[in-house]
Amino acid sequence: MELRLTGLVVKRDGQLQIYNRIYQSVFDLAWVEKQLANLRPYGENFDAWKESNYQDESRLLRGQALLDAQSWADGKSLSDLDYHFLNSSQELDKRTIQTELDAQKQANQILAKARKRASWITGISLSLLVVSIVATIIVFEERKAVEARLKATSSKEQLVSGNKFTALIEALRAGQQLKQLNRLLWQKDDSQEPVLTALGQTLYEVREHNTLTLSSHQEPVYSVSWSPDGQTLATGSADNTVKLWNKQGKLLQTLNGHQNEVRSVSWSPDGQTLATGSWDNTVKLWNKQGKLLQTLSGHQNYVWSVSWSLDGQTLATGSADNTVKLWKVDTDLDVLIRQGCYWVSDYLKNNRDVTEEDRHICAKDLKLTEAEIKRKN
């Protein structure tokens, strides 16, 4: 009526027609589609459904949203695609309702079977009261199992609709409900599989959504290692660097020193020392602040792997020179001095070229070392 009052259209043979060709060229089908898009209460879902080549059922309308759309469309002359969208929504809504009805029907059948199974023993004697109680428990548990499966189905629907956390909560409800049931019932009526599937799928989607990507290396990353306290991640790369990150993914420090690819990184058990093996034939030891403590040279070819002993006193390194080397590692100054004095003691005693001052450089530390040896023996 509003279009007729404006003079844009006239009614002929029971149908609205454009008044003249000028109006027809301006107010064409594209203009009508544009105006419809502005008016459609379901415009966003409709556009997303079209972009999916009419395959994404999660964009179709259900429940109250479908009723509202049908009420809006009543009496309007819409495009074929609009009617296709509304009809597809109605069919999906019917299928969803039918699925719920089938599940409820199954639950009622299970209840009927359980009641029939238990009815013949009712009122026989007090001794059969226990059987009746057991039957009641079976009925209760079977109904709970059905409810758990329904929650698992609901979780999958939420996941399809993009509501990942809602889907996970629904799957958790199903899982908690399943835990309360007898395990024998799980396996008998196949309640476990749909619940575990729903939990697994939703967990994967949520984890994938919340995964951190650490980007700073310029070449492939070959090795990663968490510090024992779980606070610092070390990464070794073909860009010749080692990087330290906190557990939130923030870059803390870049360790430069290797002259070739870093192939292996490993934290000591106490978390105080990081060992790194490189294709520059060396192993380097760093403190947890990223300061270089020591460079271990001895391999004649690439170092492929490094690994600490459980007590943190020995480092094993594997190389392309076909050898494995075991290094006694200690970064404590007093311990290193005592070890050095122990190995040089005979040289200091017997070499004539040693000065008198150097001959006594280890006197105090050698006494401590000898005392330690006696205590161990």
Give the DSSP letter string of 317-332: EEETTS-EEEEE----
Closest CA to 291 of 273, 303, 279, 278: 273
pLDDT at residue 320 is higher than 90: yes
CA separation for the pair 270, 308 (Å, rounded): 10
| One domain, residues 267 and 286 | yes
Mean pLDDT across 14-21: 57
CB under 8 Å to 126, separation ≥6 — which residues?
A: none
Residue 60 lies in a domain: no
**What confidence tier does 309 reach under pLDDT thresholds 50, 70, 90?**
very high
| One domain, residues 319 and 237 | yes
Alpha helices in 57-179 (DSSP H): 63-73, 80-119, 129-160, 164-179
**What confidence tier does 365 reach under pLDDT thresholds 50, 70, 90?**
low
Question: What pLDDT shows up at residue 376?
Answer: 46
Mean pLDDT across 146-155: 74
| One domain, residues 229 and 283 | yes
**What confidence tier does 178 reach under pLDDT thresholds 50, 70, 90?**
low
Mean pLDDT across 225-234: 94
Confirm whether pTM is higher than 0.85. no
Question: What pLDDT shows up at residue 138?
Answer: 54
Question: What pLDDT shows up at residue 156?
Answer: 74
Q: Which of 16-30, 32-46, 119-133, 274-288 has the highest mean pLDDT?
A: 274-288
Residue 78 lies in a domain: no
Q: Which of 5-14, 29-38, 54-63, 342-351 has the highest mean pLDDT?
A: 54-63
Entry field: residues in the chain? 377
| One domain, residues 183 and 240 | no
| One domain, residues 251 and 327 | yes
Residue 74 lies in a domain: no
pLDDT at residue 292 is higher than 70: yes
| One domain, residues 342 and 368 | yes
Domains in the chain, number = 4
| One domain, residues 310 and 272 | yes
Q: Which of 115-124, 203-212, 273-282, 289-298 has the highest mean pLDDT?
A: 273-282
Strand 324-328 relative to strand 314-319: parallel, antiparallel, unpaired? antiparallel
Question: What pLDDT shows up at residue 193?
Answer: 74
Residue 54 lies in a domain: no
Instruction: Convert the pLDDT of each residue in 128-139 to its tens digit.
Output: 555 556 555 555
pLDDT at residue 19 is higher than 90: no
Residue 59 lies in a domain: no
| One domain, residues 241 and 290 | yes
Instruction: Convert the pLDDT of each residue in 103-112 to its tens digit.
Output: 788 877 877 7
Residue 231 lies in a domain: yes
Residue 25 lies in a domain: yes
**Domain of residue 258, CATH code:** 2.130.10.10
Give residue for tokens 């994938």: 208
**What confidence tier does 317 reach under pLDDT thresholds 50, 70, 90?**
very high
Window from 6-10, 64-68, 111-115, 210-214 with minimum mean pLDDT = 6-10
| One domain, residues 326 and 345 | no
DSSP 213: -
| One domain, residues 234 and 312 | yes
Question: What pLDDT shows up at residue 373?
Answer: 44
**What confidence tier does 100 reach under pLDDT thresholds 50, 70, 90?**
confident
Residue 321 vs residue 64, higher pLDDT? 321
Choosing from 160, 178, 209, the residue where a domain stops is 209
Question: Structure tokens of 1?
Answer: 């009526």
Residue 61 lies in a domain: no
DSSP character string of 297-312: E--SS-EEEEEE-TTS
| One domain, residues 317 and 258 | yes
Q: Find the domain containing 304 and state its range.
A: 221-331
Mean pLDDT across 44-70: 83
CB under 8 Å to 296, separation ≥6 — which residues?
A: 282, 283, 284, 285, 315, 317, 327
Closest CA to 276 of 250, 257, 299: 257
